[in-house]
Amino acid sequence: MEPTPLQRALAEAPEKTRAQAARPDEEFFVFKLGAVTLAVLSKHVREVSRLSPMTPLPRVPSFVLGVVGNRGQVMPVIDLLRFLQQGESKATRGGRLFVGESSGLLVAFLADQVIGLRRIFVADKLPPPAGGGAANEFLVGIVQHRELGSLSLLDLPRVLTAARGSVVRR
């Protein structure tokens, strides 16, 4: 006897609901600096701390604001806005420092406000906009985030390497 349409359909039906195809995502550390919202892969962020007294360094590029002592270690503080040639940060009372880490390099970065960790789908990343200037070199992409609006995703290891190179060359 020919199976009925229902029997045919049931013969191919799964026994349980299929899992949705996995959408790969990455965890980013999100912070505000001036008018921009930036994000870096959280694996490159070691810690966040209050803004501690900074000691200016002579003869360094203007994006190096100085050095701070952090857990017994001296580390330079970088203003990302100056580094990316997007203006300059103001060290405010509510400001924070986050410690970025890559290949053994530890550097503190100024942040006006720390937003926190967010998971971002890899497929949602868009290429940096054309004509973004020098900053584009250090962006891995941008994301239109439902909650936070436009996020610029920063390649922190590249920033660290370039900043170090720029300081050492002087």
Shortest Cβ distance from residue 54 to other proteins (Å)? 8
The nearer residue to other proteins, 96 or 145, going by C-beta atoms, is: 96
User: Smallest distance from the beta carbon of 130 to other proteins, in angstroms?
Assistant: 31
- Tell me which long-range contacts 40-45 makes (C-beta under 8 A, separation of at least 24): 40/100, 40/153, 40/154, 40/156, 41/156, 42/117, 44/100, 44/101, 44/102, 44/156, 44/157, 45/98, 45/99, 45/100, 45/101, 45/156
Instruction: Output the smallest distance, CB 121 to other proteins, in A.
Output: 33
What's the CA angle centered on 161, arms 132 and 100, to 5 degrees? 90
Nearer to other proteins, 36 or 67 (CB): 67
Nearer to other proteins, 54 or 148 (CB): 54
What value does the CA radius of gyration of the chain take, rounded to a whole number of Å? Answer: 22
Binding site for other proteins (CB under 8 A): 52-60, 64, 66-69, 72-76, 105-107, 160, 163-164, 167-168, 170
Query: Are the C-beta atoms of residues 33 and 110 closer than 8 Å to each other?
Result: yes
Nearer to other proteins, 10 or 74 (CB): 74
Buried b (16+ CB within 10 A) or exposed e, 22-53: eeeebebbbbebeebbbbbbeebbeebeebee
CB of 124 to other proteins, least distance (A): 32
Residue 78 vs 115, nearer CB to other proteins: 78
CB of 135 to other proteins, least distance (A): 20
